[in-house]
């Protein structure tokens, strides 16, 4: 287990957070069927860094993007997204 | 020809100090080309190589393993073997495998210690019992054994389960498959390796694939840490690392790697007779032949290749197991382990062709690959030999995600982290 630095709450236990999907698999509503299915159903799944959408589900419930290494679990960047990021 | 394992050769050895035994498989140098290369020396890859040689007569085959054979998920599971799925594509596939399991030790001349002790799913409420009855009906319609049990019948098989109404998860009944059970995981890898090697398959360990040799839209071989090896057909069979290896060929898969953990307690006298699972909870309990209680639960539901899991996930599985069988609370945990699972986007595997000529894929086993080993090897060998899927793996194509023909037993949708 490790800590994730929530942009709103500071460092909190990872168990408070849930993983959603990678940023490149967020489906654009305007995309054509092939592009949408490709985003929905395929992943790069690298043995290295990827940009992932996480949520502080058992905390402030805000969404964020983590740049996280999938072998070492090192988090190199946390970026707030959604309406909270603009506040 | 190798000395067959038998009581007779053991007896013969008694007179010569057991000096006649040879290594179970050779350690060959890779040749420059083969008819078929299988990437991954796990249970599925070794089984596919064995059936390629035995069923299809294709013996010019190499199995490339980056580490040592059987060091991946075939050595990191909870050894359960069953075919009790509701969807026909799944239960027909796993039932074909279960039939192979029942004769596997004889077929391989290697004791895989298959023990058909029965596997039961417990039901904790009306909804569970309806689902279990539906599943049992679906199985029996295809000739697969399934029997609904009352709490009284369960008590005779597993007297240590908490069958009282005050239990945290009261038990209303169960669905048991008597022909299901457990097997010795390492022996499965070693048995297939020995039998495949005897038929001429080259098992090449410490040989990591670092890239593919490409000619237009055709894969003609692989680059490895032990040089370039060419092949007419190349099969990926690397379980949790499918995304990484397919990525070397420029493919994106409907797969995300996650950590799955399991644990075993100290050895005790027989206290769990069958394999216990639950329709509502996600925890499985069985007792190994050495006496340890083997338990597992959910995957850590975020992507990782680290092979180390969070203690909280183990804690959750143990809490569920103890609530169902309180006597387990007195046992000490002896060992835990983790593996990288290839979580597919509908919970079902992928075995078949890819958009790239000469490249085949066997992946997406989620946390259910061990039981599939013989069926996966058999159908993958058929696909690699003929270039077309066997009727049993035809539904498990890579294209099904784009055409909407997913096989989603738990109806979760394209979210492997919620499965």
B403 touches chain A (CB under 8 A): no
The band of A2, judged by pLDDT with boundaries at 50, 70 and 90, is confident
Contacts of B303 in chain A (CB under 8 A): 19, 45, 50, 52, 70
A20 touches chain B (CB under 8 A): yes
Domains of chain A: 3-86 (3.30.2270.10)
Contacts of B187 (CB under 8 A, 6+ apart): B110, B111, B112, B113
SS (H, E, C) B348-389: CCEEEECCCECEEEEECCCCCCHHHHHHHHHHHHHHHHHCCC
B415/A15 Cβ within 8 A:
no
Q: Which of B316, B306, B369 is nearest to B74 (CA)?
A: B369
Please compute the mean of the pLDDT values over residues B275-296 and round it to a whole number. 95
pLDDT for the residue numbered B413: 81
pLDDT for the residue numbered B170: 97
pLDDT for the residue numbered A1: 60
pLDDT for the residue numbered A49: 97
pLDDT for the residue numbered A86: 63
The predicted complex's ipTM stands at 0.93
pTM of the model: 0.96
A61 touches chain B (CB under 8 A): no
C-alpha distances (whole Å) from B391 to each of B89, B192, B352, B375 are: 10, 23, 11, 12
The contacts found for B284-290 with CB under 8 angstroms, 24 or more apart, are B284/B78, B284/B80, B285/B321, B285/B324, B285/B325, B285/B328, B286/B78, B286/B79, B286/B80, B286/B182, B288/B79, B288/B182, B288/B264, B289/B113, B289/B115, B289/B184
pLDDT for the residue numbered B287: 97
A19 touches chain B (CB under 8 A): yes
Contact residues, B window 38-77, toward A, CB-based 8 Å cutoff: none
Contacts of A69 in chain B (CB under 8 A): none
Contact residues, B window 306-325, toward A, CB-based 8 Å cutoff: 306, 310-312
Contacts of A73 in chain B (CB under 8 A): 304, 306
A33 touches chain B (CB under 8 A): no
B306/A19 Cβ within 8 A:
no
Contacts of B247 in chain A (CB under 8 A): 44-46
A87 touches chain B (CB under 8 A): no
Domains of chain B: 30-79+185-255+346-418 (3.50.50.60)
């Amino acid at each position: 287990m490790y800590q994730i630095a929530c942009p709103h709450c500071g460092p909190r236990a990872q168990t408070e957070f849930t993983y959603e999907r990678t940023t490149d698999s967020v489906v654009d509503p305007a995309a054509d069927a092939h592009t949408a299915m490709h985003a929905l159903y395929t992943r790069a799944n690298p043995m290295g860094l990827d940009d992932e959408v996480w949520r502080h589900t058992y905390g402030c419930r805000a969404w964020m993007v983590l740049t996280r290494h999938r072998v070492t679990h090192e988090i190199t960047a946390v970026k707030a997204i959604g309406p909270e990021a603009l506040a | 020809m190798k000395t067959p394992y038998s009581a007779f050769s053991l007896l013969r050895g008694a007179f010569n100090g057991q000096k006649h035994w040879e290594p179970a498989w050779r350690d060959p140098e890779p040749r420059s080309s083969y008819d078929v290369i299988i990437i991954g020396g796990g249970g599925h890859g070794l089984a596919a190589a064995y059936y390629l040689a035995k069923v299809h007569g294709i013996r010019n085959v190499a199995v490339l393993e980056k580490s040592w054979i059987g060091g991946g998920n075939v050595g990191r599971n909870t050894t359960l073997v069953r075919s009790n799925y509701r969807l026909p594509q799944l239960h027909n596939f796993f039932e074909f495998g279960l039939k192979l399991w029942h004769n596997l030790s004889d077929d391989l001349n290697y004791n895989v210690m298959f023990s058909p002790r029965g596997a039961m799913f417990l039901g904790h409420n009306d909804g569970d019992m309806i689902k279990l009855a539906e599943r049992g009906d679906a199985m029996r319609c295809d000739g697969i054994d399934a029997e609904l049990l009352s709490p009284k019948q369960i008590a005779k098989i597993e007297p240590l389960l908490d069958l009282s109404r005050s239990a945290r998860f009261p038990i209303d009944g169960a669905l048991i498959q008597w022909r299901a059970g457990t097997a010795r995981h390492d022996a499965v890898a070693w048995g297939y390796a020995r039998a495949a090697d005897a038929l001429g398959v080259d098992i090449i360990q410490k040989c990591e694939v670092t890239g593919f040799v490409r000619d237009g839209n055709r894969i003609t071989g692989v680059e490895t840490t032990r040089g370039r090896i060419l092949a007419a057909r190349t099969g990926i069979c690397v379980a949790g690392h499918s995304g990484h290896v397919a990525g070397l060929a420029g493919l994106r898969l409907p797969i995300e790697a996650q950590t799955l953990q399991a644990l075993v307690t100290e050895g005790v006298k027989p206290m769990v007779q069958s394999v216990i699972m639950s329709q509502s909870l996600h925890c499985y309990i069985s007792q190994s032949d050495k006496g340890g209680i083997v338990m597992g639960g959910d995957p850590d539901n975020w992507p990782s290749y680290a092979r180390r899991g969070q203690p909280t996930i183990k804690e959750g599985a143990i809490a569920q197991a103890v609530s169902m069988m309180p006597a387990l609370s007195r046992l000490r945990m002896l060992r835990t382990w983790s593996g990288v699972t290839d979580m597919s986007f509908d919970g079902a595997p992928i075995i078949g062709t890819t958009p790239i000529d000469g490249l085949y894929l066997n992946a997406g086993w989620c946390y259910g690959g061990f039981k599939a080993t013989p069926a996966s090897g058999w159908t993958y060998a058929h696909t690699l030999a003929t270039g077309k899927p066997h009727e049993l793996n035809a539904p498990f194509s890579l294209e099904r995600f784009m055409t909407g023909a997913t096989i989603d037993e738990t109806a979760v949708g394209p979210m492997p982290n919620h499965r």
